[in-house]
Amino acid sequence: MKTLAITNQKGGVGKTTTCVNLAASLAANHKKVLLVDLDPQGNASTGSGVDKAHLKYSIYHVLIGEKNLKEVIIASEKGCFDIAPSNRELAGAEVELVNELARETRLKAAIAQLGDVYDYVLLDCPPALNLVTVNALTAADTVMIPMQCEYYALEGLSDLVNTIKKVRAHLNPKLEIEGLLRTMFDNRNMLASQVSAQLVSHFGDKVYNTVIPRNIRLAEAPSYGLPVLMYDKLSKGAVAYLALAKEIIVKNQHVKGAAHG
Protein backbone atom coordinates (compact mmCIF):
# COMPACT_ATOMS: atom_id res chain seq x y z
CA MET A 1 0.00 0.00 0.00
CA LYS A 2 1.31 3.40 -0.99
CA THR A 3 0.17 6.55 0.84
CA LEU A 4 0.58 9.73 -1.17
CA ALA A 5 -0.06 13.20 0.29
CA ILE A 6 -1.11 15.73 -2.33
CA THR A 7 -0.33 19.13 -0.91
CA ASN A 8 0.45 22.76 -1.59
CA GLN A 9 -0.31 25.50 0.94
CA LYS A 10 -1.15 27.77 -1.98
CA GLY A 11 -4.82 27.42 -2.93
CA GLY A 12 -6.12 27.18 -6.48
CA VAL A 13 -3.30 25.06 -7.92
CA GLY A 14 -5.44 22.08 -8.92
CA LYS A 15 -4.78 20.02 -5.79
CA THR A 16 -8.29 18.65 -5.30
CA THR A 17 -8.81 18.25 -9.06
CA THR A 18 -5.66 16.14 -9.04
CA CYS A 19 -6.79 14.02 -6.07
CA VAL A 20 -10.18 13.16 -7.54
CA ASN A 21 -8.98 12.56 -11.08
CA LEU A 22 -5.87 10.64 -10.09
CA ALA A 23 -8.02 8.42 -7.83
CA ALA A 24 -10.39 7.68 -10.74
CA SER A 25 -7.49 7.13 -13.17
CA LEU A 26 -5.69 4.71 -10.81
CA ALA A 27 -9.01 2.87 -10.34
CA ALA A 28 -9.37 2.68 -14.15
CA ASN A 29 -5.98 0.92 -14.10
CA HIS A 30 -7.47 -1.75 -11.79
CA LYS A 31 -5.94 -0.34 -8.62
CA LYS A 32 -7.87 -0.25 -5.34
CA VAL A 33 -7.87 3.38 -4.19
CA LEU A 34 -8.91 5.27 -1.07
CA LEU A 35 -9.14 9.06 -1.24
CA VAL A 36 -9.01 10.80 2.15
CA ASP A 37 -10.50 14.31 2.03
CA LEU A 38 -8.62 16.38 4.63
CA ASP A 39 -9.90 19.77 3.50
CA PRO A 40 -12.79 21.31 5.52
CA GLN A 41 -14.16 22.70 2.23
CA GLY A 42 -14.91 19.08 1.28
CA ASN A 43 -14.41 19.72 -2.44
CA ALA A 44 -12.90 16.29 -3.09
CA SER A 45 -16.00 14.75 -1.49
CA THR A 46 -18.37 16.79 -3.69
CA GLY A 47 -16.26 16.13 -6.79
CA SER A 48 -16.55 12.38 -6.07
CA GLY A 49 -20.35 12.55 -5.93
CA VAL A 50 -20.69 12.65 -2.12
CA ASP A 51 -23.37 14.80 -0.47
CA LYS A 52 -21.16 16.36 2.21
CA ALA A 53 -24.08 18.24 3.84
CA HIS A 54 -25.73 15.00 4.97
CA LEU A 55 -22.74 13.01 6.19
CA LYS A 56 -23.28 11.10 9.40
CA TYR A 57 -19.56 10.61 9.96
CA SER A 58 -16.48 12.08 8.32
CA ILE A 59 -12.70 12.12 8.62
CA TYR A 60 -13.19 14.60 11.48
CA HIS A 61 -14.58 11.79 13.66
CA VAL A 62 -11.50 9.68 12.88
CA LEU A 63 -9.02 12.43 13.80
CA ILE A 64 -10.71 13.16 17.14
CA GLY A 65 -10.78 9.43 17.92
CA GLU A 66 -14.55 8.81 17.83
CA LYS A 67 -14.55 6.45 14.82
CA ASN A 68 -12.08 4.26 13.01
CA LEU A 69 -11.37 4.87 9.34
CA LYS A 70 -13.33 1.85 8.10
CA GLU A 71 -16.49 3.26 9.69
CA VAL A 72 -16.42 6.51 7.71
CA ILE A 73 -15.35 5.20 4.28
CA ILE A 74 -17.99 5.29 1.57
CA ALA A 75 -17.86 4.22 -2.06
CA SER A 76 -17.68 6.81 -4.82
CA GLU A 77 -19.70 4.74 -7.26
CA LYS A 78 -19.12 7.23 -10.04
CA GLY A 79 -15.36 7.23 -9.55
CA CYS A 80 -14.95 3.51 -8.73
CA PHE A 81 -12.83 4.33 -5.66
CA ASP A 82 -13.49 4.69 -1.92
CA ILE A 83 -13.50 7.98 -0.06
CA ALA A 84 -13.24 9.10 3.55
CA PRO A 85 -15.26 12.31 3.18
CA SER A 86 -14.96 15.69 4.86
CA ASN A 87 -17.03 18.77 5.59
CA ARG A 88 -16.92 21.97 7.64
CA GLU A 89 -16.73 20.02 10.92
CA LEU A 90 -13.09 19.26 10.17
CA ALA A 91 -12.17 22.91 10.79
CA GLY A 92 -12.80 22.22 14.50
CA ALA A 93 -10.33 19.33 14.65
CA GLU A 94 -7.38 21.72 14.76
CA VAL A 95 -8.56 23.27 18.02
CA GLU A 96 -9.70 20.00 19.58
CA LEU A 97 -6.40 18.23 18.91
CA VAL A 98 -4.12 20.96 20.22
CA ASN A 99 -3.69 19.45 23.69
CA GLU A 100 -4.07 15.81 22.71
CA LEU A 101 -1.29 13.27 23.00
CA ALA A 102 0.31 12.06 19.75
CA ARG A 103 -1.84 14.54 17.84
CA GLU A 104 0.41 14.50 14.75
CA THR A 105 0.11 10.72 14.29
CA ARG A 106 -3.68 10.29 14.46
CA LEU A 107 -4.09 9.78 10.72
CA LYS A 108 -1.06 7.49 10.42
CA ALA A 109 -2.50 5.20 13.12
CA ALA A 110 -5.94 5.22 11.44
CA ILE A 111 -4.49 4.25 8.03
CA ALA A 112 -2.31 1.53 9.59
CA GLN A 113 -5.49 -0.19 10.90
CA LEU A 114 -6.71 -0.70 7.31
CA GLY A 115 -4.02 -3.28 6.59
CA ASP A 116 -3.30 -3.79 2.89
CA VAL A 117 -6.82 -3.39 1.51
CA TYR A 118 -5.77 -0.60 -0.89
CA ASP A 119 -3.03 -0.20 -3.47
CA TYR A 120 -3.06 3.59 -3.08
CA VAL A 121 -4.25 5.97 -0.36
CA LEU A 122 -4.40 9.58 -1.62
CA LEU A 123 -4.52 12.38 0.96
CA ASP A 124 -6.09 15.65 -0.20
CA CYS A 125 -4.53 18.21 2.15
CA PRO A 126 -5.99 21.60 3.11
CA PRO A 127 -4.34 24.66 1.50
CA ALA A 128 -2.44 25.50 4.70
CA LEU A 129 0.52 24.15 6.65
CA ASN A 130 -1.56 23.28 9.72
CA LEU A 131 -1.95 20.32 12.07
CA VAL A 132 -4.15 18.42 9.61
CA THR A 133 -1.48 18.80 6.90
CA VAL A 134 1.20 17.68 9.38
CA ASN A 135 -0.96 14.59 10.09
CA ALA A 136 -1.03 13.87 6.35
CA LEU A 137 2.73 14.32 5.95
CA THR A 138 3.34 12.08 8.96
CA ALA A 139 1.09 9.36 7.50
CA ALA A 140 2.44 9.57 3.92
CA ASP A 141 5.17 7.62 2.18
CA THR A 142 5.65 10.35 -0.39
CA VAL A 143 4.39 13.82 -1.32
CA MET A 144 3.05 15.10 -4.63
CA ILE A 145 3.14 18.88 -5.08
CA PRO A 146 0.76 20.20 -7.74
CA MET A 147 1.73 23.67 -8.89
CA GLN A 148 0.97 26.24 -11.51
CA CYS A 149 3.93 27.48 -13.51
CA GLU A 150 3.68 31.13 -12.53
CA TYR A 151 5.90 33.78 -10.99
CA TYR A 152 5.13 33.15 -7.29
CA ALA A 153 5.04 29.37 -7.53
CA LEU A 154 8.70 28.82 -6.69
CA GLU A 155 8.48 31.09 -3.63
CA GLY A 156 5.75 29.04 -1.98
CA LEU A 157 7.56 25.87 -2.89
CA SER A 158 10.53 26.62 -0.61
CA ASP A 159 8.19 26.98 2.43
CA LEU A 160 6.61 23.63 1.65
CA VAL A 161 9.98 21.91 1.14
CA ASN A 162 11.11 23.27 4.54
CA THR A 163 7.97 21.88 6.21
CA ILE A 164 8.59 18.49 4.60
CA LYS A 165 12.19 18.57 5.93
CA LYS A 166 10.93 19.34 9.46
CA VAL A 167 8.38 16.52 9.35
CA ARG A 168 11.11 14.18 8.09
CA ALA A 169 13.42 15.22 10.93
CA HIS A 170 10.87 14.90 13.73
CA LEU A 171 7.94 12.69 12.73
CA ASN A 172 8.43 10.70 9.52
CA PRO A 173 12.05 9.93 8.55
CA LYS A 174 11.05 8.07 5.38
CA LEU A 175 9.05 10.96 3.86
CA GLU A 176 10.16 11.82 0.32
CA ILE A 177 8.95 14.19 -2.38
CA GLU A 178 7.63 11.85 -5.05
CA GLY A 179 7.13 14.54 -7.62
CA LEU A 180 6.10 17.99 -8.72
CA LEU A 181 3.10 18.15 -11.01
CA ARG A 182 2.66 21.03 -13.42
CA THR A 183 -1.08 21.87 -13.50
CA MET A 184 -3.35 24.27 -15.45
CA PHE A 185 -0.57 24.51 -18.00
CA ASP A 186 -0.91 26.70 -21.05
CA ASN A 187 1.99 26.16 -23.42
CA ARG A 188 1.21 29.40 -25.29
CA ASN A 189 2.19 31.27 -22.14
CA MET A 190 5.87 32.27 -22.25
CA LEU A 191 6.20 32.65 -18.46
CA ALA A 192 4.67 29.21 -17.85
CA SER A 193 7.26 27.65 -20.15
CA GLN A 194 10.10 29.52 -18.39
CA VAL A 195 8.96 28.46 -14.90
CA SER A 196 8.48 24.91 -16.15
CA ALA A 197 12.08 24.87 -17.43
CA GLN A 198 13.31 26.26 -14.07
CA LEU A 199 11.47 23.51 -12.21
CA VAL A 200 13.05 20.82 -14.34
CA SER A 201 16.55 22.30 -13.93
CA HIS A 202 16.06 22.57 -10.13
CA PHE A 203 14.30 19.30 -9.41
CA GLY A 204 15.28 17.09 -12.36
CA ASP A 205 13.46 13.77 -12.43
CA LYS A 206 11.31 14.81 -9.46
CA VAL A 207 9.17 16.69 -11.99
CA TYR A 208 6.55 14.38 -13.50
CA ASN A 209 6.74 14.02 -17.28
CA THR A 210 2.96 14.37 -17.42
CA VAL A 211 1.71 17.95 -17.60
CA ILE A 212 -1.94 18.74 -16.78
CA PRO A 213 -3.29 21.27 -19.29
CA ARG A 214 -5.83 24.00 -18.75
CA ASN A 215 -9.02 22.25 -19.78
CA ILE A 216 -12.65 23.35 -19.64
CA ARG A 217 -13.89 19.78 -19.11
CA LEU A 218 -11.70 19.44 -16.02
CA ALA A 219 -13.26 22.61 -14.62
CA GLU A 220 -16.83 21.51 -15.41
CA ALA A 221 -16.71 17.93 -14.12
CA PRO A 222 -16.90 18.66 -10.32
CA SER A 223 -20.22 20.48 -10.69
CA TYR A 224 -21.66 17.15 -11.85
CA GLY A 225 -20.00 15.28 -8.96
CA LEU A 226 -17.89 13.36 -11.48
CA PRO A 227 -14.21 12.77 -12.15
CA VAL A 228 -13.39 14.02 -15.67
CA LEU A 229 -12.88 10.42 -16.82
CA MET A 230 -16.61 9.78 -16.30
CA TYR A 231 -17.63 13.20 -17.62
CA ASP A 232 -15.65 13.28 -20.86
CA LYS A 233 -13.10 10.50 -21.18
CA LEU A 234 -11.71 11.86 -24.46
CA SER A 235 -10.98 15.33 -23.08
CA LYS A 236 -7.39 16.52 -22.75
CA GLY A 237 -7.80 16.59 -18.95
CA ALA A 238 -8.93 12.95 -18.76
CA VAL A 239 -6.12 11.80 -21.06
CA ALA A 240 -3.54 13.71 -18.96
CA TYR A 241 -4.66 12.19 -15.63
CA LEU A 242 -4.66 8.69 -17.13
CA ALA A 243 -1.07 9.35 -18.26
CA LEU A 244 -0.18 10.56 -14.75
CA ALA A 245 -1.68 7.41 -13.18
CA LYS A 246 0.39 5.23 -15.53
CA GLU A 247 3.53 7.24 -14.76
CA ILE A 248 2.98 6.78 -11.00
CA ILE A 249 2.28 3.05 -11.34
CA VAL A 250 5.46 2.54 -13.39
CA LYS A 251 7.51 4.68 -10.98
CA ASN A 252 6.32 2.64 -8.01
CA GLN A 253 7.04 -0.66 -9.76
CA HIS A 254 10.62 0.51 -10.31
CA VAL A 255 10.93 1.51 -6.64
CA LYS A 256 9.56 -1.87 -5.51
CA GLY A 257 11.85 -3.66 -7.94
CA ALA A 258 14.87 -1.74 -6.64
CA ALA A 259 13.89 -2.51 -3.03
CA HIS A 260 13.61 -6.25 -3.77
CA GLY A 261 16.62 -6.34 -6.10
For the chain, 261 residues long, give each residue's pLDDT as a single digit of tens: 999 999 998 888 889 999 999 999 999 999 999 999 999 999 999 999 999 999 999 999 999 999 999 999 999 988 899 999 999 999 988 888 888 888 999 999 999 999 999 999 999 999 888 999 999 999 999 999 999 988 777 777 888 899 999 999 999 999 999 999 999 999 888 889 998 998 999 899 999 999 999 999 999 999 999 999 999 999 999 999 999 999 999 988 877 777 666
> The pTM is what?
0.95
Neighbouring C-alpha atoms within 13 Å toward the C-beta of 51: 4
CATH number of the domain that residue 13 is part of: 3.40.50.300
Q: What is the pLDDT of residue 261?
A: 61
Q: Which domain holds residue 249?
A: 2-260
Alpha-carbon gap, residue 202 to 105, rounded angstroms: 31
Q: What is the pLDDT of residue 100?
A: 84
Strand order in the sheet with 2-6: 74-76, 81-84, 33-37, 120-124, 2-6, 142-148, 176-185, 207-213
Using CA atoms, how far residue 258 sits from 9, 43, 155, 253, 261, in Å, is: 32, 37, 34, 9, 5
Alpha-carbon gap, residue 170 to 220, rounded angstroms: 41
Domains: count for the chain: 1
Q: What is the pLDDT of residue 260?
A: 66
* 175, 137 contact by CB (below 8 A): yes
